Amino acid sequence: MADVRAMTRAEGEELVEYLRTIPSESWTASTVCDPWTVKHLVAHLTALSNQTLPNFARRMITTGFNFQKVVDGDLQKYLGEQGPMIDKLEASIQHPTTPKMLNHVALGEFMCHGEDIRRALGDRGEHPSAHVTELGPVYVKQGKPLRAKKRTEGLSLRATDGDFAWGEGPEVAGPGIDLIMAMTGRAEALDRCEGDGVEIMRSRS
């Protein structure tokens, strides 16, 4: 059985290493997750790593089971200055309290939002094929809020840099991380993909 937490920790460590190299002006750069900036995404990932089951359940109830409101509210407590925020993220990665039921959620968030941050700043990250292979089959089954199932229905996906492959139909082939991001509606990730299914998937973003 795959150690999903170890995968998430590895993704987080790579992201922290990257964050320590960016200049202060990059902290407020806009990302594809408008209106969230780089700073907001770091706070969000820190909040996720510090999430507990009792808090998650309580917040879901008090927000009327609105997942987005839970996410938006919880990140506010982790906003601050660049250096201390990176330190808090690093500490939370090493000792996460994220409920096991959210293990794949955490992996996906660190992979996708890590790329959202890098790409907003003109960079790209490296993600092990094993991480894509673990997350891909989980994502393709997801309804709301990701809606990946709807975007991938009737298509076949194939990572050109790893082992992930899924589905039947017109093909969407490309780097594994771009397939993951395209599943979640980031249409620009399809610019690095090819196949008869690319434009079909793009129309669903």
Same domain, 62 and 140: no
Same domain, 57 and 156: no
Total count of domains within the chain: 2
Last residue of a domain, one of 97, 120, 143: 120
Q: What is the pLDDT of residues 10-43, one digit of tens each?
A: 999 999 999 999 999 999 999 999 999 999 999 9
pLDDT of residue 60: 79
pLDDT of residue 148: 96
Examine the pLDDT at 167 and tell me if it is beyond 80. yes
Last residue of a domain, one of 120, 155, 178: 120
Same domain, 58 and 76: yes
Domain that residue 29 falls in: 4-120
Write out the chain in H/E/C secondary structure. CCCHHHHHHHHHHHHHHHHCCCCHHHHHCECCCCCCEHHHHHHHHHHHHCCCHHHHHHHHHHCCCCHHHHHHHHHHHHCCCHHHHHHHHHHHHHCCCCCHHHHHHHHHHHHHHHHHHHHHCCCCCCCCHHHHHHHHHHHCCCCCCCCHHHHHCCCEEEECCCCCEECCCCEEEECHHHHHHHHCCCHHHHHHCECCCHHHHHHCC
Same domain, 11 and 92: yes
Q: What is the pLDDT of residues 74-124, one digit of tens each?
A: 888 899 999 999 999 999 999 999 989 889 999 999 999 999 999 999 999
pLDDT of residue 28: 95
pLDDT of residue 144: 87
Same domain, 116 and 136: no
